[in-house]
Amino acid sequence: MTAADPIRRCSLSGDRAARANLIRLVLGPDGRVHADVRAKAPGRGAWVGVTRGEMETAMAKGKLKGALARAFKTGDFAVPADLPASIADALEKVVLDRLGLESRAGTIVVGGERIEKAARGGKLHLLLHASDAGADGTRKLDQAWRVGRDEEGGGARGLVIPLARAILSVALGRENVVHIGLTDPGAARRLGEALDRWQHFIGPQSESAPCETASQGASALADGDDNRAETSDATTDEEIGQIADGISGAKPGPIIDDTAIADTTI
């Protein structure tokens, strides 16, 4: 967040925060509320900064519709029951899209040996671990990152994100992506913001806790194609294909006709 970031007020809690940390909801031409997580859809919007659980509670008590009615200046709309789920899915897609963009821009390092070298050299600005990463490999890279940051006695460690290696592999177009390092500070900030917003909304997940699975030994730190040698914990080509099919075949969200919404964006 910078001083130039626009500040918005959460329609539910009343708290104020940078727009980048909030989620915009917009009233579509179909009379339903839609998530506009990229804040690009035209029309009058409302901003929320609550968690998924808080939103679901507010929906059950009718508080969300009341708050949105004040923001939209009308009560003639419907709040879909799957709105929280659609927001979570959209925020996850933002993270995956950002990973793909940064990978194509060359700001991402994958492969245990490459990440360890960059970490020890003080070149990493963000370290991520898949939710199913092995504990030994995770600890080794965390230690390398602390060495590079001159924090060997500290508690700094990479972030275990609620995405399995198969999903990360599809997002980056590579095989068996278990750990990810970002070497550019701007890229780390952009991805960090997307992750923060998504994880704040979905709340604590069992997958995001530090992984304590069986040791993968040296295979957890294999570099590039060497990761294919992992056996019991490796993601097979078939599994990656199934996930890729699931992502590409996902049911699309509602289409908002931009021309049918008022041209005032707030």
Query: Half-sphere exposure (CA, 13 Å, Cβ side) for 193?
Result: 17
Question: CA of 147: how far to CAs of 102, 121, 140, 142, 222, in Å?
Answer: 25, 8, 11, 9, 20
Predicted local confidence at residue 5, as pLDDT: 79
Predicted local confidence at residue 241, as pLDDT: 53
Residue type, 75: G
- Work out the pLDDT band at 205, boundaries 50, 70, 90: low
The H helix count followed by the E strand count for the chain is: 8, 9
Q: With 80 as the cut, is the pLDDT of residue 218 above it?
A: no
pLDDT digits (tens, 9 = 90+) for 8-63: 999 999 999 999 899 999 999 999 999 999 999 988 899 999 999 999 999 999 99
Predicted local confidence at residue 154, as pLDDT: 87
Mean pLDDT across 2-13: 84
Closest CA to 203 of 90, 126, 88, 96: 88
- Asked if residues 257 and 36 have their Cβ atoms less than 8 Å apart, the reply is no
* Mean pLDDT estimate for the chain: 82
Predicted local confidence at residue 266, as pLDDT: 40
Predicted local confidence at residue 254, as pLDDT: 37
Q: What pTM does this model have?
A: 0.77
- Work out the pLDDT band at 125, boundaries 50, 70, 90: very high
Residues 6+ positions from 40 with CB-CB distance below 8 Å: none
The 10 Å Cβ neighbour count of residue 102 is 22
Residues 6+ positions from 124 with CB-CB distance below 8 Å: 109, 115, 118, 145, 148, 181, 182, 183
The 10 Å Cβ neighbour count of residue 62 is 10
Query: CA-CA distance, 56 to 47, in Å (whole number)?
Result: 16
Closest CA to 178 of 161, 194, 202, 191: 161
Higher pLDDT, 163 or 225: 163
* Residue 32, beta-bridge partner list: 78
β-strand 108-110 against 179-182: which pairing, if any? antiparallel
Q: Is 29 exposed, middle or buried (0-12, 13-18, 19+ CB in 10 A)?
A: middle
